[in-house]
Amino acid sequence: MCFEVRQGDLLGRLGVVETKSGRLKTPALLPVVNPAIQLVSPRELKEIFGFEAIMTNAYILMKRYGQEASERGVHELLGFDGVVVTDSGAYQLLVYGRVDVSPDDVVAYQEALGSDIAVILDVPTGWTDAREKALKTVLETAERGRRLWEVKKRDDILWVGPIQGGRFPDLVARSAKLMSSMPFHIHALGSPTPVMEAYRFDVLVDMVMAAKLNIPPDRPLHLFGAGHPMTFALAVALGCDMFDSAAYALFARDGRYMMEHGTARVEELSYLPCDCPICSRREPSDFLEAPKPERERLLAMHNLYVCTREIRAIRQAIAEGRLWELLIRRAHAHPSMLKAVKAMTKYADVLEERSPARRRKGVFIFSSLDLARPELVRYKRRLMERFSPGRPGLLVLLPPPPSRPLSRSPEHEALFKALYKALGLEETAGIQVCMYMAPFGPVPLELDQVHPLSQHETAGPDEEMISYSAEVVASFVISKGLKPVLLVSDASPLAKAVEASLRRAGVEFEVLVEREPWTREALLRLSKEIASILGRRTRGYVSPSF
């Protein structure tokens, strides 16, 4: 066991990976270091930015330094005493079609380098590969994975089992199962870079989930080439514990300035929208007037500050149980990101199963996209599966009162005073009171203090949220066999939607229209209507509306 999970939210996990050179906290970003071209040195990555781990390419080291690197060791060569992850050269295989080294040689070279985490030389799946070719990459990668355990000699290196399959989720799932049948310490989703470069983050969602759901939960998942910080929250929410990126340097060489929500060219900026140590004392003109090497270095350092700030924000969001809120904010950075989060909603049940049930804070509801958040999915499931209304003589559906929770509000006292006056204590005990509210649907009075029914803020229901809530009300009434039903309508869009849903479901009910249902006068009228309904039932009389 090399991975300890300490806290989670959605599929994101705060954890620790143990290596021979130290610990690596997750979620973790690994800056990619080119040993030949270093805008920011490995020592600076650790001392200035706090990176515990970096990634470099064993194939490039082999070609450029050969035996010198293996004799000195990768830590001494790079001047980095933290965790060093070495990639195998598979990216070069993807780009150039071949590498002049065998998989066994790559394994031996990484062992000689003293890598902390190493990757086998897998066969990457190209974005345009046909299905038949993609399947071959899956099978050949699995064969190379099996070969590792025959040729490796060291036991102090954590080995990464890459998962291939490209844009074919079923092949990704097959690859994940094949690779997870072997004792790899870490798994990695291979070949996502072309997908992300094309902004097909919705495709990435299916790729990551196909891998995540088919590997053991005690193994970290690495995402190769994550790139821009606006994608980090999405990757973590999907269950990626680690990801590497060379984008901080590549963007800098191209004169591009990173922000959490996008990228701009320096010449397009009138102001620097960042307070990092690089930007706080400079203007855009300072970048433009600097010599090219200095400009590239300054941009690379700024880009790293943006990346580390985003990682810290994600870790804090997981700690607070607010990763969903952060994800929704990042989803509006680009239409393709929003499309990805919408694609993610089809995995709502999985997100709910793996998210903690206990929360310290309330939740924010912004739009119908939030219907997939774990708290709402969990509430609906548990309401249908676990809630038992007893034997009520009448179900009363009310809109929510002005204050929450109802069970502690003046409206609660006024409601039951009116009911006691009209019915007496014994008859009141046979009434099931439920509020209908977006986005939860029915909220039985007994549950209104359960998180987050009274611990949420909403921007107001949109059409989809209203429709969803009304359908849940109808499903609840039918599944629990509740009757008779009295709907108190405040003529709001939600009340009208509930009425329509009950009719479509064939539920027999009466409607009492009250524009201000929680006033003293309205509650007295409600109590008289309830007494009338219960009285008719007692005498064996059923009104035509039933």
What is the C-alpha separation between 509 and 500, in angstroms, rounded? 11
Q: Would you mind telling me the total number of residues written for the chain in this entry?
A: 546
Q: Note if the bond before 392 is cis, omega within 30 degrees.
A: no
244 is catalytic: no
What is the C-alpha separation between 258 and 251, in angstroms, rounded? 8
Residue type, 74: V
What is the C-alpha separation between 277 and 326, in angstroms, rounded? 24
Angle at which helices 323-331 and 335-344 cross, to 10°: 140
Q: Per the structure block, which two tokens stand in for 443?
A: 């909220």
What is the C-alpha separation between 383 and 216, in angstroms, rounded? 30
Beta strands in 411-496 (DSSP E): 431-437, 441-444, 456-458, 485-489
Q: CB of 435 within 8 A of CB of 442?
A: yes
Q: CB of 483 within 8 A of CB of 508?
A: yes
What is the C-alpha separation between 412 and 415, in angstroms, rounded? 5
What is the C-alpha separation between 507 and 286, in angstroms, rounded? 70
Active-site entry in 9, 81, 87, 448: 87
Q: Which residues contact 334 (CB under 8 A, 6 or more apart)?
A: 199, 230, 261, 262
Beta strands in 112-198 (DSSP E): 117-119, 158-163, 186-189
What is the C-alpha separation between 333 and 259, in angstroms, rounded? 10
Q: CB of 303 within 8 A of CB of 45?
A: no
- Residues marked active site are found at 87
